[in-house]
A and B are shown apart, each in its own frame.
Chain A
Amino acid sequence: MSNTPALNIENLHYHYPDGTAALNGITLQVREGERVGIIGANGAGKSTLLLHLNGILRGNGTVRVFGSLLGKGTLSEIRNKVGMVFQNPDDQLFCPTICEDVAFGPRNMRLPEAEVRQRVDRAMETVGIAPLKQKSPFHLSIGQKKRAALATVLSMDAHILALDEPTSNLDPRGRRGLIDLLQAFARTQIIATHDLDLVRQLCTRVVLLDAGRIVADGPPDSLLDDHALLEAHGL
């Protein structure tokens, strides 16, 4: 791979339609293979930032994914590269069966049916829910649903995983399982979370947001031990 960063955000601003500023000039570069934890108090702009990574929200500023500028023409290409996993798996899983849900992305990419099936099998294998193929999401535990939600973007062969609160509502064992799973992926990961232990175990870098600005950026060990800093920004 060249030196092109996986993700390059420059001076990104975003206001909600009622005028509230959500992002205030975010500039961030992520290299391929990095696992970046985005932390910050409620309302700091973590989820809003994630929603900009694949153009669901579009503010002022530029977002580049592997060098290509996010815009109308590159939207579908970028959505295939950035796999977005939402916080609540019930929002992500909408098909009658898990299998169809995992196939939804690849089918939108207009892949041949044989390849779709192959990718579905592989993705479900990877997250360890292969036996649940024909199940309805309603019959799954939260842990299984979170894994299934992850599989729906793995099947698209996303280069960057953007995860919103991947461990929320999980019991300790489900949480450990998910962390192990994420640890095994070599892909670039951007994780918005309140779970500081997850960041410590998983991430190679931490970005601290407050009021739509990056207030700290560094390795987890030093940053997470700076209690004064965390306290000052609502954590």
Chain B
Amino acid sequence: MHIPDGFLSAPVAAAGYAASAAVLALAVKRSGQTLEERQVPLLGVTTAFVFAAQMLNFPVAMGTSGHFLGAVLAAVLLGPLNGCLVFAAVLTLQCLLFADGGLTALGANFFNMGVVGGVGGYALFRLATALLPRSRRGFLFAAALASWISVVASASACAVELALSGTVPLGLVLPAMGMVHAIIGIGEAVITVATLSVILAARPDVVGEWRGPSPVLLVGETSS
């Protein structure tokens, strides 16, 4: 889903940058107010985690594989704005280190995955948790739903941008991308749920959005 250089027309690429810059400015401003000192290294390591997790391919069917996106996972763990910061760092690093995703398309790529996938998915997650019973099951189901939709929505945003740039015909690509990612999204949902349940079992205190039974801390509280 990483758009390379040259696939987007100048207005679309510029709009991607503008939208991303606005969201990031907000995230930095907010996090500057609330970012506790201990969160800086945690955000850094989580960024590395999302990066590493995206390297693990998961099987879709008979040899074809998709890779994990993790936008909803990051938002549920860290909150939507910190999740945004993490995604911006991941995508920038992928672009600068591995030339994965074009530099001129970086704004659009961040918009698709970090904003549409992450913030959009998170909003859906909040909506679902409000409607569903406040239990572990409801929590995980909401995460599954949100992460499935986040993948489909990211892919659709990607298709729309490519079509606006005149690179592909929208009428055909939108359903095609949507269909393929509806399948990949199942993998995303399954992985998000499995990941969250492992974390909820061991360290519920680190799941930012978990409002369930109060956790038993495993590490000493630190003071400074």
* Interface positions of A (Cβ within 8 A of B): 14, 16-18, 22, 48, 51, 55-58, 75, 94
11 CB < 8 A contacts A-B: A14-B220, A17-B220, A17-B221, A18-B216, A18-B217, A18-B218, A56-B222, A56-B223, A56-B224, A57-B220, A57-B223
Annotate B184-224 by CB proximity to A: 1 below 8 A, 0 otherwise.
00000000000000000000000000000000111111111
Closest B residue to A14 by beta carbon equals B220
- Distance A57 CA – B220 CA, assembled complex (angstroms): 7
- B224 interface neighbour in A18, A48, A75, A94, Cβ under 8 Å: A75
User: Closest 7 interchain pairs by CB?
Assistant: A17-B217, A18-B216, A57-B220, A16-B220, A58-B223, A17-B221, A56-B222
Q: Is B41 an interface residue (CB 8 A)?
A: yes
CB distance A55 to B217 under 8 Å? no
- Distance A51 CA – B221 CA, assembled complex (angstroms): 12
CB distance B41 to A94 under 8 Å? yes
Residues of A close to B44: CB separation below 8 A: 94
Secondary structure type dominating chain B contacts: loop
CB distance B220 to A55 under 8 Å? no
* Interface positions of B (Cβ within 8 A of A): 41, 44, 216-224
Interface centre among B220, B221, B224 (most CB of A within 10 A): B220
Closest A residue to B45 by beta carbon equals A94
Closest B residue to A59 by beta carbon equals B220
- Distance A94 CA – B44 CA, assembled complex (angstroms): 10
- How distant is A121 from chain B, measured CB to nearest CB, in Å? 26
Residues of B close to A48: CB separation below 8 A: 220
Residues of B close to A14: CB separation below 8 A: 220
- How distant is A84 from chain B, measured CB to nearest CB, in Å? 13
Residues of A close to B41: CB separation below 8 A: 94
- Distance A57 CA – B222 CA, assembled complex (angstroms): 6
Residues of B close to A16: CB separation below 8 A: 217, 219-220
CB distance A55 to B223 under 8 Å? yes
Residues of B close to A51: CB separation below 8 A: 220
- Distance A201 CA – B217 CA, assembled complex (angstroms): 39
Residues of A close to B222: CB separation below 8 A: 56-57
Residues of A close to B221: CB separation below 8 A: 17
Closest B residue to A58 by beta carbon equals B223
- How distant is B89 from chain A, measured CB to nearest CB, in Å? 14
- Distance A167 CA – B147 CA, assembled complex (angstroms): 45
Residues of B close to A17: CB separation below 8 A: 216-217, 220-221
- Distance A146 CA – B104 CA, assembled complex (angstroms): 41
Given contact pairs A18-B217, A56-B224, A57-B220, a sample of 8 additional A-B residue pairs in the complex whose CB atoms are under 8 Å apart? A14-B220, A16-B220, A18-B216, A22-B220, A48-B220, A51-B220, A56-B222, A57-B222
Closest B residue to A57 by beta carbon equals B220
- Distance A56 CA – B223 CA, assembled complex (angstroms): 6
